[in-house]
């Protein structure tokens, strides 16, 4: 059975922290691939600073293109509207019955698992993989496979603010993604 880890989020914009986290999970748990899946409309975040789904998909394609074990999953963008992890994962399992799916979450999300829709059902079907991060509580009543990863305290919000202020984001956002952001005048 093929092992695939889904890495969901807004990726607004994708940055090296996302790539490092996905890379560490890929190697630590021996996945066939890690799929970056941008949501159309996040259920738990305010989305006024969210660039279009098409831009976020394109930035992810640019960010992951050099890594054969990274893919971009467009299901939630194509579906549109708010998506919930349980519903998405059930649909992916239906589409790919010979794939064993896991779902990657950052340490910041572990504390909020009890607020997720259908979390009790989700953990029966999908392994949750968490990446340790200092300053966050990693304890949960739900099963989460924790892995270590190099720590980089980086957020898309901080990067959007830097871009808006005309400050340098090199080494924080892959160069192809930076070029796309400049070309499309995103986050200005």
Specify the pTM: 0.93
Above 80 in pLDDT, residue 19? Answer: yes
Task: Give bridge partners of residue 38 from the DSSP assignment.
Answer: 9
pLDDT > 70: what percent of the chain? 97
What is the rounded CA–CA span in Å between residue 179 and residue 185?
A: 10
Q: Are 71 and 64 in contact (CB under 8 A)?
A: yes
Could you tell me the residue ranges of all domains in the chain?
2-153
What is the rounded CA–CA span in Å between residue 17 and residue 172?
A: 8
Among 71-75, 94-98, 145-149, which stretch is predicted with the lowest mean pLDDT? 145-149
CATH fold label, 2-153: Rossmann fold (3.40.50)
What is the SS3 assignment for 117? coil
What is the rounded CA–CA span in Å between residue 61 and residue 14?
A: 10
pLDDT band at 48 (very low <50, low <70, confident <90, very high): low
> pLDDT digits over 126-154, tens only?
999 998 877 777 889 999 999 988 878 88
pLDDT of residue 49: 76
């Amino acid at each position: 059975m093929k092992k695939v880890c889904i890495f969901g989020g807004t990726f607004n914009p994708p940055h090296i922290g996302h790539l490092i986290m996905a890379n560490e999970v890929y190697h630590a748990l021996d996945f066939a691939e890690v799929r970056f899946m941008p949501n159309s409309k996040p259920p738990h975040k305010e989305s006024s600073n969210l660039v279009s789904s098409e831009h976020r998909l394109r930035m992810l394609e640019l960010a992951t293109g050099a890594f054969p074990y990274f893919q971009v999953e467009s299901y939630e963008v194509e579906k549109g509207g708010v998506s919930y992890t349980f519903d998405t994962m059930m649909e992916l399992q239906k589409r790919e019955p010979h794939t064993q799916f896991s779902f990657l979450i950052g340490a910041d999300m572990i504390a909020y698992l009890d607020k997720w829709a259908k979390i009790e059902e989700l953990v029966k079907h999908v392994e949750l993989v968490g990446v340790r991060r200092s300053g966050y509580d990693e304890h949960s009543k739900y099963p989460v496979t924790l892995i270590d990863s190099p720590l980089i305290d980086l957020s898309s919000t901080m990067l959007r603010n830097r871009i808006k202020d005309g400050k340098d984001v090199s080494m924080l956002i892959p160069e192809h993604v930076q070029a796309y952001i400049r070309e499309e005048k995103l986050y200005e």
